[in-house]
Amino acid sequence: MENWSLVSICVLFGLTARWAVSLNSYSGAGKPPMFGDYEAQRHWQEVTYNLPVHEWYFNTTDNNLNYWGLDYPPLTAYHSLLCAHDHGFDFCWVLVADLLIYIPAVVLYSFYLSEGSNKKKVCTVLCILLYPGLILIDYGHFQYNSISLGLALWGVVVLGLGWDVLGSLAFVLSLNYKQMELYHSLPFFCYLLGKCFKQGLAGRGLFLLVKIAVTVLVTFALCWLPFLSDPGQILQVVHRLFPVGRGLFEDKVANTWCSLNVLIKIKTILSTDTQLYFSLTTTLLAILPSSIKLLMKPTLWQFKLALVNSSLAFFLFSFQVHEKSILLPALPVCLLLNDLPLPAIWFLQASTFSMLPLFLKDGLLVPYVVTSLAFLFFSIYLLSAFEHCSEDKLRLGPYRRLLICMPRMDLGRVTKWKFYFSITAMAGLSFMSVALAPPDQLPDLFPLLVSVFSYLHFLGLLLYFNIVQIAEPLQSVRKNQKKSN
């Protein structure tokens, strides 16, 4: 069959799965007084529709910020205003946004920037579209992540195709939709800067740099136009976007601080300021190696790896992280599905698993189980993940050099067994969270186990992806650097 029909079938299948998930209950359905994210979106529509722009981010008599106050950048607010004109079709809006922004970017990426036969590209499209985490959060829990992630993906695709100015435009838009996109910002910056360096800062490189800088500034200015008149407004918006007061972490999240908190109660020992500086330093240290490497070698392959490493480092070490933020590293990992199938599938599955407590709270157990199984099965089958896990294909060579005393064994096989074990453990933990009642002294036992277990995965994979990125020689020409046909 022709490519277009296969791709359309994949896209239709992805959309069907999305809509089928939305038929289940959504966040906070019937749980007064705060309800959930669905209510938040509805409330923002109310606020943006009824109040003048300058009151959106302020606590006034008409706008109680404690009840789902707007805490996303201006583009989200404009989007809510747009949706408010057609209230009642909320899930339709998510589907439309997906269809217009995220899905075309996925298709373009798979067809122009990934390697292999056409059939393989179609398989990549299907697997990326079936990633359960994004489907469950957007359509089950109800959020608009596909817009910000889709715009960021557009940025990657357009940069990959060589249009640097448009790429930075797309990324700035995504940053103005959700501030969490900052997790991706450093690789974008380093990639573009690295490219300017490569072209020579004295000549064409400088021109490119100026062009990009102007684009970024103008886009920012346009997005923030209604708030620019008054510095107070800007400060208030920034204050809403980065609520430092909410502490190092909330609930149970699979990052370093929450996991460390089990052993040492950092949240009570250190003051908020110390926590802030501490997390900032560790985050910067964690992203430094990959950023420097990218700066020296701005290729698409390095860029993708740097996106993973930077966003994952942010997720693991930065301040005030939500469990849903794991979607940010998950996006670039999706882009690696074709190159490193097994680690990517492993990561994506772990990321879905790490949000289990949230899904259970929202009553999304059945869709969680079904979409996870479907994703695991299809991605392993279609991308033949187990056939592509020799030591060489997984790029495990550097491990040998690092650990000379390691006994001789096939690292590919070991990885496979670790994968089986971890999937079984995830299934077991999922089952226990649903079926068993936690002991009275430890009511949060299962959510904590889930987040610590996922944290170990994330940490291990952060190391792995960093090693893959750093170990790549600076000079040699690799297949992956070539823009695929």
Q: How far apart are CA 291 and CA 287, in angstroms?
A: 6
Q: Is the Cβ of residue 96 or residue 214 nearer to another protein in the bound state?
A: 96
Least CB distance to another protein at residue 345 (A): 16
Q: Closer CB to another protein, residue 2 or residue 273?
A: 2
- Quick check: 15 binds another protein (CB under 8 A)? yes
Q: How far apart are CA 422 and CA 425, in angstroms?
A: 5
In terms of CB distance, is 11 or 216 closer to another protein?
A: 11
Q: Is 23 in the site for another protein (CB under 8 A)?
A: yes
List Cβ neighbours of 296 (8 Å cut-off, separation of 6 or more).
Answer: 194, 474
Site for another protein in 204-263 (CB under 8 A): none
Question: Which pair of structure tokens corresponds to residue 126?
Answer: 């299907």
Contacts 24+ apart (CB under 8 A), 37-42: 37/141, 37/142, 37/143, 38/90, 38/142, 39/68, 40/68, 41/80, 41/83, 41/90, 41/142, 41/143, 41/144, 42/87, 42/90
**Minimum distance from residue 5 beta carbon to another protein (Å):** 4
User: What does the alpha-carbon distance between residue 389 and residue 422 come to, in Å, rounded to a whole number?
Assistant: 16
| Beta carbon nearer to another protein, 15 or 284 | 15
Residues 84-103 that bind another protein (CB under 8 A): 91-92, 95
Using CB under 8 A, which residues numbered 377 to 416 contact another protein?
377-378, 381
**CB of 335 vs another protein, minimal distance in Å:** 24
We find the least distance from the C-beta atom of residue 366 to another protein, in angstroms, to be 6
Q: What are phi and psi of 321, to 5 degrees?
A: -105, 140
Min dist CB 381 to another protein, Å, is 6
| Least Cβ distance, residue 37 to another protein (angstroms) | 19
13 binds another protein (CB under 8 A): yes
* CB closer to another protein out of 7 and 334: 7
CB atoms within 10 A of CB 34: 11
Nearest of 341, 349, 302 to residue 130 by alpha carbon: 349
Residues 342-381 that bind another protein (CB under 8 A): 366-367, 370-371, 373-374, 377-378, 381
**H-state helical runs in 23-89:** 37-50, 74-84
Binding site for another protein (CB under 8 A): 1-2, 5-6, 8-9, 12-13, 15-17, 19-25, 91-92, 95, 366-367, 370-371, 373-374, 377-378, 381
